Each structure stands twice: as structure tokens, then as C-alpha cells.
Structure 1
Amino acid sequence: MVPRVVYGKGSFDQLGDILMPHRKNADAPCIFLVDDVFEGTDLISRIPLIFNDQLIFISAEEEPKTVQVDVLVSKIRNDFTEPPSGIIGIGGGTLLDLAKAVAIMLNNPGTSCAYQGWDLVRKPSLYHVGIPTISGTGAEVSRTTVLLGPEKKLGINSDYTIFDQVIMDPELTKGVPKEQWFYTGMDCFIHCIESLNGTYLNAFSQSYGEKALALCKEVYLQDIDASESREKLMMASWHGGMSIAYSQVGVAHAMSYGLSYLLGVRHGLGNCLVFQHLNEFYPDGVALFHKMLKRHNITLPKGITAKLTDSDFDTMITVSLGMVPLWENALGTDWMKIMTPEKLKSIYQKI
């Protein structure tokens, strides 16, 4: 679990006090990785920059990549004579995952792609803080940082990945574009459906998953005011992330990794594109999903895979089938008898 959490409207302004005890000296800066959508906004003036702190704006238009992590780590090592006092990620899942990965790699040798997998990290991360500005991914609480590598899309799954501190300020999620709000929120909703219907389910993950699902239903199917909606979705994201931390996700996530790897489809949208066709596996969840689409007038893109070659489909299938724990959670230990490459291809062809 994340050991320290601060929650509430305006809690972002506690960041300076939170960081101060962790500052080693003036030559060991705090590095702030910030979504470039905030460049030139009031939020930047509220970041507590002192000494040699560095603020790095990063675009979240594409999925985070291992090469991107390695470039950032190299830059930080070259810019400063001492290791940083901490890494602070401010943004959505992309920025939070980058912050977690950079914190790991500053204390571990080699390249980040070598750590894609389960429990491969040997040394603790640098002190790192996560500050979500959009809700749904659960990246603020999860023990993974999902990266596109040269050969696969896979997380660095480790106890050292988890943030040392999270600041959850619902006010920071104001102004998120509607479609992004929907797709990222559906990431949380799909987390819950896959966790609650998985073979890895246990009482711990179930308690978090049920609460997250209830909150998602309130946000996307009921009439609540904007402020309450932001608060509830932020807590849904947290609880959904906790649920999968102690269980696993399933078919939609396994398949969306293939879409992201080959086509660069953003994670939340990718989950939605797949989930709409998974009535065989999650009938109740898919029915709710279509209600949410209709209520919020969201039209999913079509024809995403229409021009793909057989080789393209093979690439997506290989990436997807490599997510063994996800398939085991979704379909059990005999999952390979159920989800054959041919069946997987038939679902991809519908997207």
C-alpha cells in the first residue's frame, strides 16, 4: 500500500511542507514531471520550486515508453552531481507511470525494458510522489508502471514501484475534456468488472472493487453535481487500483495492450474499444457500459483494425497472449483452451 496519503480540496498546496523533510541539500533537487497541458497555467506557480529543482513538461498524448524513461534518467544524471531528493509526477496515468519508472531507474542499473515483468527490481526506488490530475487509471496506487517497450507493452511490477506519497486533490481534475474524462473513468469501471469476475478474487480485493464499482455507477449513471462527481471518481480510481493490486485485471486489459503496442491507442480508449465486444465474458458489465455510453453521448471510433494485415494481427495477438496473469485471472488456468489466437483475432477484427 501507499504509506502516506493526503486527500482533500486544496491539498496540493501542502506539497512544499511534505517535500521539505525529504530534501537532502541544495544540490539534490526535486524533479517535477508535469503534464504539458498545465504549461502556463496557475498550477505551475503553485509548485514549490526551490534550490536547483527542475520542472520537466511532458506530453501525455502518447503512452509512456521505456526509451522515454531512459532518456529522462540520463538527463537527470547528467544535469546534477548528486541524485535527486525526489521525483514528483503531476498528471494522469502517463505522468504517474513515468515518475514511478524514473524513480526506479535512478537507483537501479541498466535500461528500463530489462525490468518489464514481475518482481525484477532489486533496489528500492528514489523517493517519489504521485499527484493525479485525472481519475480512473489507478496509477496513483498501483504497484506497476505500464510502459511500451521495444518488444512488448508490460508493466514494471514491483513493491518498489509504489509511490511513497500521494496527494489527492479533486480540484486538480477540473477542466478535463469530456471524452478523456469518460475513457479514463471507464478504465476504473473495467478494472472493477474484471477484478470482481476474476479467478484471483479474494475478500480484500472484493471489498475495494465493490466500492469502486458503486462509485462509478453514481458518477456515470446518476445526476450529481460536478464537485461531488470529481470527489467520487477520484475515490473510485483509488479503490479500483487497490482492488487490482490484490487481484488482477482481465480480457479487456490484455487485449488493449496489443492495440496500444501496435497502434498507439491510448489505454482508456483501448479498453473501451475492446470491452464493448466482451459480452461473452462480462455480460452485466458490458450492458452497464453501453448504458454509460448512451447517457453521456459517447461514440466510440470504428474501423480501427480494418486495414491491418495478418502480420499486424499476429503482433497484437502475441503481445496480448503474453499477459499470462491477466488471462489466468479472467479465464482460469486452462485459459489457452478458451482464448485461442483465432478467437482473439476475431474480436480484434470487430474493433
Structure 2
Amino acid sequence: MFRNFKMVSRVVFGRGSFNQLNDILAEKRKHTDSFMVFLVDDVFENTGLKNRIPLNDPDMLIWVNVDHEPSTAYVDELTRKAGAFSGQLPEGVIGIGGGSTMDLAKAVSLMLTNPGSAADYQGWDLIKNPAVWHVGIPTLSGTGVEVSRTTVLIGPEKKLGINSDHTVFDQIVLDPELISNAPADQRFYTGMDCYIHCVESLKGTYINVFSQSYGEKAFDLCKEVFLEDNPENDDKLMMASYFGGMSIAYSQVGVCHALSYGLSFGLGIHHGIGNCIVFDHLEEFYPQGVREFREMMKKHDIQLPRDFGNIEDEKLEKMINVALILEPLWENALGTDWKSMMTRDKIKALYISILGL
């Protein structure tokens, strides 16, 4: 069977396109007491962006904190807040921020219409009811969250996405001006998520011409952004993220992301930084990609964290468990016989090398 995947149905791109948000939302406001829920990264709470958010009187604004990776518990908390705000469902949920904020917006839009905890739906195609209409507006680019069918969350037992066609945003607003003032290191780590996506996808066994076409363009744009100097780099990075996310829709990531998920679960390291920490040790699997990655780090004067302290055996075993859950990633990277190559001992040896244990 060929995958019949869902894509974002409405996209607006361009500098200043954020100013159209009010008109976009107006089409969904059905009556005078209709309301929207805005989930906005709290780093913008005291900035000019706050005054540009088109809030109507009935709307709800929640400043979300993403100092830590988004968790199922936090999604449940936000869903309770949004659900208690009115006697009816919101007409929409709008996420404004980086990948973690957009993941939270996706998850809350799902949980407003599905019973239980977000942890109940970590996996593939477990969501039964369509989400509330939801919008993604990135202020960082690279994760591909804006076009993906997953919302990645830290749960009680694992780090795993809610993977569903219902997860996909209904509308995205891609305004390169919103990413222009991102801190340099954060911009790099998030952009590298896209670059590593592309390396893993293009080298994977799941690759086909659809994924390859999107992946190659995203890969080339990442190299332009991080190895060259160009006044349109913000625009290019935003499109690299879009194309990279589209490539993964019909393919998969690989070794780096599988190990990074375990790292995030065990040590609370943010996804983009975790990818970079892991990828720097994967010459065995992606030699050319690692060489280029190191060139990019040198050009942008990036120093990766190296000191992770002592890590108990129990925590290390949990990290291995989380990595092993991600079977599609291993199969994409190593083929159907991946279990004979990527044993627990092999994964443990990789973590010991990565963490300098």
C-alpha cells in the first residue's frame, strides 16, 4: 500500500504575512461569542509581537513555557485550561513559537476532542476524533513541525509523537521576519534539525523520488544558509524547514533521531541540541554529513555541550529503551535486518561514546 498522507491545506508565505492572521481567523469566527485559543511562547510576553497578535474580546491567550521539552502532562494541563475557559470548544488553536510551542498547539487541539491523557495517544494512528482547527506560526525554522503529522512529547515512559493525520495543521503562516531575531545558537540548533532530517532521509532505505525531491532541495538550502552569507537566509531557512518536513512525510529519519529521543528523555536535553550532540558522533553512519556539520559548527562558532556528569545505569537503560521503541527509524537507517546490527549493546556503546562516559 502506498501512503495516502495528509498535507497542510492552507499555506501563506512571505515577509509581513503575519499581518494577515486576523483576516485568516475571521473566516473561522462563526458568531460573536466564538473564541480562539492562542498558545504563544512566553519569550515574547514582553516584546512587540504581543501587540501584534489579533486577539478578540472572547479569545484566550496562554503564554507557554518551553524551557523543557513539551510533555504529555503539560499538554493535559493546557487542555484543561482551554477546556474550562468556555462552555464550548474554541473555533481554533493557534501556536506561535518554535517547534515545541507548535507541538503543544497540535496536541491541545487533539486533546480537546479526544478523551483521556495525551500519553494515551503516543504512537501511530491512535487518535479517533478530528482535532479542533489549528494554525502553526513558526518563530524558529528547522524542525518541520509546521508540516508534519506528529507532535513529539515526553511521556511517563517514553518520548514519542502523537502520529496522526488529525495532527497536521490546517493552516500555517510562514513569515521570515518572525525568525530574523532568533538567538544565533538556537537558530543553529533548530536549523540543524532540518539538515540532519535531510541526511537521514536521503541516506535511508525508505527513500523514494517524492521524498528525495523535497529532501534534496531542503539539503541544498541548509548548506546555503549555514555555509554561505546571503540576505535571504531567513527566507531560505524557512523553506528548508518546510521542504524537509515534507520529505519526512513519505520517508523517515534515522540513527541520530532515534538516539536523540533517548537523550532527551533521559537528560531533558532539547531536541535540536540533542540531535547535534548525537550527530557529531555518527561518522560510522553518515560520514559526509558529519564532516559538513562540523564545517557549519566552525563557521558559526558553535560549541556543543560536552560535560554530562555521571549517569546512572538505570537512566542509561531507559534511554536505550526509548531509542529501541522507534523501529521505523532504525529500519529506515539500516534496513529490515536492523535488529541484528543495532543491539542493546551497540546502542549502549554509542551512548557511552556520545556522553563521554
- Aligned 8 A contact 1:26 1:51 in 2: no
Instruction: Please give the alpha-carbon distance, in whole angstroms, between the structure 2 residues aligned to 1:327 and 1:213.
Output: 21
Matched length:
348
- Secondary structure of the structure 2 residue equivalent to 1:171: helix
Counterpart position of 1:323: 326
With structure 1 as the length reference, what TM-score do the two structures score?
0.98
- Aligned 8 A contact 1:27 1:80 in 2: no
Of 211, 218, 224, which aligns to 2:217?
Answer: 211
State the identity as a percent. Answer: 60
Matched, 1:347 2:350: yes
Q: Which runs of 5+ in 1 are unaligned?
A: none
Matched, 1:294 2:298: yes
1:88-237 equivalence runs, <5 A: 88-225=94-231, 228-237=232-241
Instruction: Please give the alpha-carbon distance, in whole angstroms, between the structure 1 residues aligned to 2:341 and 2:33.
Output: 56
Of 244, 254, 257, which aligns to 1:250?
Answer: 254
RMSD: 0.9
Q: What whole-Å deviation, never above 9, does each CA across 1:244-277 have from its counterpart, x for those lacking one?
A: 1110000000001111111100000000010011
Q: Following TM superposition, where does structure 1 have runs of at least 4 consecutive aligned residues deviating by more than 4 angstroms?
A: none
Counterpart position of 2:341: 338
- Secondary structure of the structure 2 residue equivalent to 1:138: coil
Instruction: Please give the alpha-carbon distance, in whole angstroms, between the structure 2 residues aligned to 1:209 and 1:335.
Output: 23
Q: What whole-Å deviation, never above 9, does each CA across 1:130-160 have from its counterpart, x for those lacking one?
A: 0000110100010000000011000000001
Counterpart position of 2:312: 309
Deviation of residue 69 (structure 1)?
A: 0.7
- Secondary structure of the structure 1 residue equivalent to 2:37: strand
Q: What whole-Å deviation, never above 9, does each CA across 1:52-71 have from its counterpart, x for those lacking one?
A: 10111011211111011111
- Secondary structure of the structure 1 residue equivalent to 2:217: helix
Deviation of residue 303 (structure 1)?
A: 2.6
- Aligned 8 A contact 1:28 1:80 in 2: no
- Secondary structure of the structure 2 residue equivalent to 1:345: helix
Counterpart position of 1:277: 281
- Aligned 8 A contact 1:27 1:81 in 2: no
Instruction: Please give the alpha-carbon distance, in whole angstroms, between the structure 1 residues aligned to 2:155 and 2:315.
Output: 17
Instruction: Please give the alpha-carbon distance, in whole angstroms, between the structure 1 residues aligned to 2:46 and 2:60.
Output: 16
Instruction: Please give the alpha-carbon distance, in whole angstroms, between the structure 2 residues aligned to 1:81 and 1:276.
Output: 50
Q: What whole-Å deviation, never above 9, does each CA across 1:102-148 have from its counterpart, x for those lacking one?
A: 00111111111111101111111100000000110100010000000
Deviation of residue 223 (structure 1)?
A: 2.0
- Aligned 8 A contact 1:252 1:275 in 2: yes
Letter of the structure 2 residue corresponding to residue 167 of structure 1: V
